[in-house]
Structure 1
Amino acid sequence: MAHHSDDTKEMDIRSLSSSQHQVQNFPYIHKVGLPPKQNLFNEFKTTVKETFFADDPLRHFKDQPKSRKFILGLQAIFPILRWVRNYNFSKFRGDLIAGLTIASLCIPQDIGYAKLANLEPQYGLYSSFVPPLVYSFMGSSRDIAIGPVAVVSLLLGTMLQNEIDSSENAAEYLRLAFTATFFAGITQATLGFLRLGFLIDFLSHAAVVGFMGGAAITIALQQLKGFLGIKKFTKKTDIVSVLHSVFGSANHGWNWQTIVIGSSFLAFLLFAKYIGKKNKKLFWVSAIAPLISVVLSTFFVYVTHAEKQGVQIVRHIDKGINPPSIDKIYFTGDNLLKGFRIGVVAGMIALTEAVAIGRTFASMKDYQLDGNKEMVALGVMNVVGSITSCYVTTGSFSRSAVNYMAGCQTAVSNIIMSIVVFLTLEFLTPLFKYTPNAILSSIIISAVIGLIDFEAAILIWKIDKFDFIACMGAFFGVVFASVETGLLIAVSISFAKILLQVTRPRTAILGRIPRTNVYRNIQQYPEATKVPGVLIVRVDSAIYFSNSNYIRERILRWLTDEEEQLKASCLPKIQFLIVEMSPVTDIDTSGIHALEELYRSLQKRDVQLVLANPGRAVIDKLHASSFADLIGEDKILLTVADAVVTCAPQAGEEV
């Protein structure tokens, strides 16, 4: 028995040694695994859930009693109910200081921004009273400060002016403004409710940088009317028309007293902003500088009676809080369609700005911001605003930055700001009677200068030249044509980039890194060597109807070019084409058809097609279409190294 046992052990050792020898000489080839079949409905449901409900918004409601679900539902709609229980005096102190600080900044800005939208000054103040209160209850950002902003005010004013002249028919213009605000809110809330927030991401960062920069210059140029004291000024916003209007009235239209007031206070505002940037602890200097400027300039005009010397002043701001305006919104007729069109555009731009600001400060404080909830909150805020005499409001970057630096803790800072605006509307509006228009122009110019981001434009140039074209296209479109044209160019170029990337995906020839089984792009790794008789191509995109023919033709061109080089060098021809499919996340019927055509073209050239590492979705469709049977399952392998060993065993052994 012992002798038999020793013989068995000896045979096992010989067998093991033999198998090891076989593995060394003939490495094990890994085939691509076919995933288990899944229920088609469940798979479709999973895809839809991942597309529209990736954050699983109902996860908090699972396994909860009905009473708890009701509370959680209320907290989802009104996030204030979630954190108000833990609110304390320490947080209130931070919010109080922040609220008072942004109120001092927003009041003079609101009066100026209302003029930018061709509305009476009180409508700017109305828009910083009701909307911030609504957002405080429904918004999820702790830092965003709500109110009118320069870019949206200009966009709204320009688009409304194209439909109705504000000076000839002020009542109809105001009604259209409220209608546009209503539909801006409906658009925002709908996008959030249907979880379609990803649509705003189609406006690329580069396009936004260019659009904002162009809008800032346009806004600043528009302020030359008040800054120089010009009475007759062009309604157009392009730089040529504005400069023609400015210099055309140089001899008789400029008012030197107005220029002195505007220039001196603009210098003061820019100096205050410089101090705030230089020393972060002195942020409050730049925040209260606009209010100080308004107070001092108003006092100066009142004492000297400068209005009698041609200095234009505000003259009148209606006293009292927001009157209802639901009866002024158009719900029928041509103006309904006009308001809808303007509202959708203004709402999308406002949404883009607010979400970008919210995400920026959320990342700085390390908390999560629910983009879809934000959209619903902003939408409801603007719908309520439209029925309470407000125009389109959103998150303001300058105010939000001040809010953040002032130490805000929660959305209560917006409530504090609203209360201050309420007190201003009730008691202080008569004090603004002698406020010169030049000071409002100076405040707006100093505020929008920060929207011109030279550093971002330079970085875009360094990173992606096509992005830079999008940036400059949006910029010059706004400056030389109009805000709408610039926006259209920005969106068009962003879409064009997506289409180019989808229809013209990258492909690369791979070679083996010396002394490894790793295959990489030979242009990125010049030391990588090609395998004799084998061409390895990688496709860096999903294969869809939009790019399938291009990919097939590009692979055949790679093959033709390679064969010509080999023929010129008297080297062996290509026998195998390996397509590395790791980056191919999906394939459709057009893609399968393109692979079939590629296979037939290769057969005519006596070249065998081999696929390496197709993903789960791709291998499923290759089997469902019978393409796997067409080329043979032994031609679909796990790695490029496995495919090379199969095609050229001698090359696979030379590591």
Structure 2
Amino acid sequence: MRGLRKYLPILEWGKQYNRDTLTSDLVAACIVTIMLIPQSLAYALLAGLPAEAGLYASLLPLVAYGIFGTSRTLAVGPVAVVSLMTAAAIGSLGFSDLTDKLLAAACLALLSGGFLMILGVLRLGFLANFLSHPVIAGFITASGIIIALSQLKHIFGIKASGDNLIHLLHGLLSNIGEINVPTVIIGVAATTFLFWVRKGLQPLLLKLGMSKRYADLASKTGPVFAVVVTTLAAYLLDLGSQGVALVGDVPSQLPGFSIPNISMDFWLALAGPAALISIIGFVESVSVAQTLAAKRRQRIDPNQELIALGAANIAAGSTQGFPVTGGFSRSVVNFDAGAETPAAGMFTAVGIALATLLLTPLLAYLPKATLAATIIVAVLSLVDLSILGKTWRYSKADFIAVSATIIVTLTMGVELGVSAGVLLSIIIFLLKTSRPHMAIVGQVEGTEHYRNVERHQVITHPNILSVRIDESLYFANAHYLEDQIDSMAAERPSLRHVVLMCTAVNAIDMSALESLEALNRRLTDRGIKLHMSEVKGPVMDNLKHSSFLQHLSGNVYLSQHRAVSDLMEHDYCI
């Protein structure tokens, strides 16, 4: 039973469920439902899909995550960056028919879900670590800029297309003369209002005496108010006849279960984008889940989160939705509203289902400009250009990775952008570790501590070379270590001992072992003994399984001070 609970967390929190928990979850679900309806519609627009796809992607995925997820407050559904990547992936197929786009979106969700499930079952969540935080920040910043620009066509009421900065700007500037004035009025008014709600409504409500919690929650419902007002305006003023683009008819029905019927070539074409969407979505989701869990001293299991997000995406793909993940803004609202278990997400799905059945006729008059305003206000908060200054001051290598990610994403699209970021991160990592920091150390007078001779006043001995290695040794840096020690030894004619201080060495692979053996032979031929100090237990265990220690010309010491003291005493006696 314990093993089953590991893969079905609902069995763990479900047995503790009570009336108080139910009340808290219901209240949170009502608030998140109100917020999620306009968000779902907006992100469907961003993905280039009809409005109902956003609602469908907010139904069964929430139930699936509630069964398999380990976060008590994560709210799953469509999010901005994943919706943009979905639009780019579908656009690469060249589909013009809306039915084909819906099939491709569902296929993308199924592939993403399958990929996540496989990673979770094989416990490969660590692969997401290859996306460094600076690269993720750069990618999200660039994606936020592209998303905001892509929505200006709806704000201005003009046609424009493209999945990068150059194409979008060209499209907007080429059609700037076709601006629809009523659309601009609605779009600008909605955008201005939503920006004010985000920054100004909460302080106003606090001044009026509302508690901080409720003022914060009320400020999150701004998009709902904008949707209601602009929909009424479009209906009463017949704005559709004046050229204002409206959402149009939305089916008042729940989705059925189906597997997309498209050719194998398209499945294969979507496999790469699906993998990228999976990784980006997982990183975003798990970071939100961990942040919220830490506030309540709870923990999540990243590998189980892979399975949960995989199940959510499979649910989305089999019910005419598109890829989903854990969203930051709605998860925070869910947390602040008092959600205690994933059941809050399940109740939210019920609320979305009721809205799909009962409220969708009212959405026919909703201006697309309002949804575009909702997206712009949401994504601009993701843009953080300060990451460039931070990385420039702290690490030039990270600055290069961030800059390249932003530039490639803006100029060549989101898929190439994130791929470039991952590739650069790996290359920079390999470059750093292939030339590990090595410091000649000496004794700090009056202590048993050994520090870098270039940073401290220390005591050294001409016949002993103490070198601290600040990196694990593996195939990429093995020959560098060998060459550096050989060069240092050649510069010291009176040298009789080399001591490798291995405090920071967590592993030595076979290539590095062979380099150490070669170094030992080379130094022995010169009459120099090779010693090691402060070797970690797991590393020492591996060395004992080889013949290296038997052929080592010197000794292995527990501490650097013991090594130097012993060698000084030995040379003095000689």
TM over 0.5: yes
Q: Distance in 2 between matches of 1:143 and 1:173?
A: 32
Q: Distance in 2 between matches of 1:113 and 1:346?
A: 15
Q: Are 1:250 and 2:179 an aligned pair?
A: no
Counterpart secondary structure, 1:611: strand
**Using a 3 Å threshold, how does the CA distance of structure 1 residues 288 and 531 change in structure 2: closer, same or farther?**
same
Q: Distance in 2 between matches of 1:501 and 1:597?
A: 23
Deviation string for 1:289-325 (max 9, x for gaps)? 0010000011111111122222111122111111222
Q: Distance in 1 between matches of 2:557 and 2:271?
A: 55
The aligned counterpart of 1:197 is: 125
The aligned counterpart of 1:164 is: 94
* Farther off after superposition, 579-588 or 397-406: 579-588
The aligned counterpart of 2:251 is: 318
Q: Are 1:643 and 2:566 an aligned pair?
A: no
The offset of 1:606, in angstroms, is 3.5
**Using a 3 Å threshold, how does the CA distance of structure 1 residues 250 and 164 change in structure 2: closer, same or farther?**
closer
Counterpart secondary structure, 1:86: coil
The aligned counterpart of 2:15 is: 85
Alpha-carbon contact 2:273-2:415 (below 8 Å) kept: no
Q: Distance in 2 between matches of 1:216 and 1:299?
A: 30
Deviation string for 1:169-228 (max 9, x for gaps)? 322222222112111111111111111111111111111111111111110000011011
**Using a 3 Å threshold, how does the CA distance of structure 1 residues 581 and 401 change in structure 2: closer, same or farther?**
same
Mapping 1:201-600, distance limit 5 Å: 201-230=129-158, 232-234=159-161, 236-251=162-177, 253-275=178-200, 281=213, 282-326=215-259, 328-330=260-262, 333-454=264-385, 456-523=387-454, 525-560=455-490, 563=492, 573-600=494-521
Counterpart secondary structure, 1:219: helix
Alpha-carbon contact 1:641-1:652 (below 8 Å) kept: no
Q: Distance in 2 between matches of 1:83 and 1:275?
A: 38
Q: Distance in 2 between matches of 1:276 and 1:97?
A: 22
Alpha-carbon contact 1:184-1:379 (below 8 Å) kept: yes
**Using a 3 Å threshold, how does the CA distance of structure 1 residues 135 and 288 change in structure 2: closer, same or farther?**
same
The aligned counterpart of 1:602 is: 523
Structure 2 residue identity aligned to 1:644:
V
Q: Distance in 1 between matches of 2:548 and 2:62?
A: 59
Structure 1 residue identity aligned to 2:509:
D
* Farther off after superposition, 596-605 or 238-247: 596-605
- RMSD over aligned Cα atoms: 2.1
Q: Distance in 2 between matches of 1:302 and 1:448?
A: 28
Q: Are 1:176 and 2:107 an aligned pair?
A: no
**Using a 3 Å threshold, how does the CA distance of structure 1 residues 621 and 427 change in structure 2: closer, same or farther?**
closer
Alpha-carbon contact 1:104-1:287 (below 8 Å) kept: no
* Farther off after superposition, 94-103 or 372-381: 94-103
Structure 1 residue identity aligned to 2:55:
L
Q: Distance in 1 between matches of 2:37 and 2:481?
A: 58
118, 135, 146: which one pairs with 2:48? 118
Structure 1 residue identity aligned to 2:108:
A
Structure 2 residue identity aligned to 1:391:
F
* Farther off after superposition, 131-140 or 446-455: 446-455
Q: Distance in 1 between matches of 2:275 and 2:543?
A: 43
Q: State how many pairs are aligned.
A: 565
Alpha-carbon contact 1:513-1:527 (below 8 Å) kept: yes
Deviation string for 1:314-358 (max 9, x for gaps)? 1221111112222x244x531221233332222222222111111
**Using a 3 Å threshold, how does the CA distance of structure 1 residues 512 and 408 change in structure 2: closer, same or farther?**
same
Alpha-carbon contact 1:273-1:286 (below 8 Å) kept: yes
* Farther off after superposition, 339-348 or 134-143: 339-348
Counterpart secondary structure, 1:247: helix
Q: Distance in 1 between matches of 2:270 and 2:360?
A: 30
Identity score, percent: 32
**Using a 3 Å threshold, how does the CA distance of structure 1 residues 580 and 74 change in structure 2: closer, same or farther?**
closer
Structure 2 residue identity aligned to 1:221:
L
Could you list the runs of 5+ residues in structure 1 that have no partner in the other structure? 1-68, 564-571
Q: Distance in 1 between matches of 2:442 and 2:103?
A: 67
Structure 2 residue identity aligned to 1:269:
L
Structure 2 residue identity aligned to 1:137:
I
| Larger-Rg structure | 1
Counterpart secondary structure, 1:451: coil
**Superposition TM-score, scaled by structure 2 size:** 0.93
**Using a 3 Å threshold, how does the CA distance of structure 1 residues 462 and 143 change in structure 2: closer, same or farther?**
farther
Structure 2 residue identity aligned to 1:579:
L
Counterpart secondary structure, 2:459: coil
* Farther off after superposition, 168-177 or 512-521: 168-177
**Using a 3 Å threshold, how does the CA distance of structure 1 residues 276 and 403 change in structure 2: closer, same or farther?**
farther
Q: Distance in 1 between matches of 2:541 and 2:76?
A: 50
Structure 1 residue identity aligned to 2:175:
S
Alpha-carbon contact 1:110-1:148 (below 8 Å) kept: yes
